[in-house]
Amino acid sequence: MYTREQFSKLIDNTYLKSSATKEEMIRFLEDAKRHHFAAAVVFPYWVPLAVRLLQDTDVKVCTPIGFPYGTVTRSTKVYEARNAVSNGAEELDVVMNVAALKSGDIEYVQREMSEIVSAAQLSGLTEDSKRTLIKIIIETPVLTREEKITACEIVRDSGADFIKTSTGTAGNGGALLEDIHLIRTILGPTVGVKAAGGIRTVEHAMDLLDAGANRLGTSTGIQLVEMYNPEELLRTAQ
């Protein structure tokens, strides 16, 4: 069982609202510091602000690349990744080109993922010798089982650190236990798993972690932490 502090450290709290104001972002980042989340996920425009406000804290700055559909060109994603790292992002959530994957253009997807991972990691080393953490979003709600397996293999071979289930924008589910089990079966313990999409209860979050997730991506991180009661969970488990 996790303490509340340990549970909070498993959450990437997200605020990807296109109309968000600077004042709203400041409140979001202050909340991230207060709750000691693993990362605060913001749009690339807000990365410099997040870097300033989260400096010398234990909360990482994360930003999405190719969000939400992943269908911009490969060179655009590579530039986005380099630019984000140059602005201070420590973690990237990169959306795989699912359209290319579902069209059978596996070689394109493999090359894209490898180039983005290499570009981000090299940019990070150039800036301050810190390694950038890369998470690849495969959008499980729109993939068949066979496509999920292929996506997992591409992520594994790309050198990325994590696979992430969903952007949370595809509908038709999100973070499902069966997907976490499948991903873990394919990847084993070597690649992290970030479950994301529709995580709104502590029970769901705990089930995903028990199934093998290492991180939880959600816009409801504060609510989850405030609802988390390890003593109550222990009582109900008995």
Q: Which residues are known to be catalytic?
A: 93, 164, 194
Token output for 92: 């990237």
CA separation, residue 215 to residues 37, 79, 104 (Å): 10, 26, 29
Smallest CA-to-CA distance from 61 within 90, 103, 87, 95 is with 90
CA separation, residue 52 to residues 29, 47, 177, 219, 233 (Å): 10, 9, 37, 21, 37
Query: What stretch of H or E contains 91?
Result: strand 91-95
Q: Identify whether the C-beta of residue 57 lies closer than 8 Å to the C-beta of residue 33.
A: yes
CA 213, 219, 225: angle at the middle one, nearest 5?
70
3-class secondary-structure state, position 64: strand
